[in-house]
Amino acid sequence: MNDFLFLLGGGALAGLVSGLLGIGGAVILIPYVLYVVPSFLSRTFTPFEATQISMFQVFFASVAGYVTHRPQLLLPVKTLLAWGGAALLGSAIGGTLSGHLPGKEILVLYLAEILLALFLLHRKPRPAEQTPDRLAWRRTFGAPVLMGGIGLVSGLLGIGGGFLYYPVMTGLLGYNARVAVGSSLGIMIPMAFSGMIAKTLSSGSFPDGTFPVAIGALAGSIAGARLHRGLTPAKIRWGQTLLLVATFARILASLL
């Protein structure tokens, strides 16, 4: 029972952050499963098991968060499916190429991705970039390329990279914060689903902690999406910034 509740809490925490800020939550759950769980329980997980569990968490949190955010969205479902499909294609290509990159280079690439996200979060677009014609061109032709690029890097890294969707949607595509958070979760659904299936087929089973984490992610994401309604764009931006800086510091420390 202690194991169940502890893993339920981890899934709920990751799901809460997903619904609140529009990120996948793996950045929270994977360290929790690998480092926090063994510190308090006798149960340990391998890195593969941790990433497999995180795929279930991201999928259930993304679905629950997207459905809860849906009344605030302005984007049609077919647009999100197209962007999600582009990200999925990029992820497949990245996954194929990832075997040719050493582990250290993958971590350096992850650090670069975090720096790009931080830059986009705090970049103030010039008025000339926000004209209706430019935004329409970017959203029609540029967005699929951008989503495919995020998927490519995610496939190379072997981890979601969902923290880039929100900065790209607000910083480059000109969407407001509320649309960007819910849409980011919607874009992640196809990638999380495919990753969940692929890892389960590869392992042939579910890790013990999958069920409580998935249930926690569902509940946490719904709660986070509802709490999100009280956040300003600045609070969302700084919430993501704190998470990204903490992740950057942890990865950098592992390289030194």
Give the pLDDT confidence score for residue 150 in this predicted structure: 86
Give the pLDDT confidence score for residue 1 in this predicted structure: 60
Cα 138 to Cα 89: distance, rounded to the nearest angstrom: 20
Residue 254 burial by Cβ neighbours in a 10 Å radius (0-12, 13-18, 19+)? exposed
- Whether 54 and 33 have beta carbons less than 8 Å apart is answered as yes
Residue 231 token pair:
């956040």
Mean pLDDT of the chain: 84
**Mean local confidence (pLDDT), 226-251:** 87
Cα 50 to Cα 182: distance, rounded to the nearest angstrom: 25
Give the pLDDT confidence score for residue 60 in this predicted structure: 93
Q: What percent of the chain has pLDDT over 90?
A: 16
- Whether 154 and 188 have beta carbons less than 8 Å apart is answered as no
- Whether 159 and 26 have beta carbons less than 8 Å apart is answered as yes
Quickly list H helices, 102-207.
Answer: 103-122, 132-137, 143-157, 165-171, 177-203
Give the pLDDT confidence score for residue 98 in this predicted structure: 66
Cα 27 to Cα 115: distance, rounded to the nearest angstrom: 15
- What confidence category does residue 123 fall into, taking pLDDT thresholds of 50, 70 and 90? confident
Separation of CA 82 from chain center:
18
- What confidence category does residue 93 fall into, taking pLDDT thresholds of 50, 70 and 90? confident
Cα 143 to Cα 33: distance, rounded to the nearest angstrom: 34
Give the pLDDT confidence score for residue 194 in this predicted structure: 81
Q: Whole-prediction pTM value?
A: 0.84
Over residues 151-176, the pLDDT tens digits come to 887 777 666 567 888 898 888 888 88
Q: Among 31-35, 76-80, 197-201, where is mean pLDDT lowest? A: 197-201
Region for 195 from its dihedrals, namely left if φ exceeds 0, alpha if ψ lies in -120 to 50, beta otherwise: alpha
Evaluate the CA torsion angle 243, 244, 248, 254 in order and state its sign. Answer: positive
Amino acid in the structure at residue 174: G
Residue 231 is classified by DSSP as -
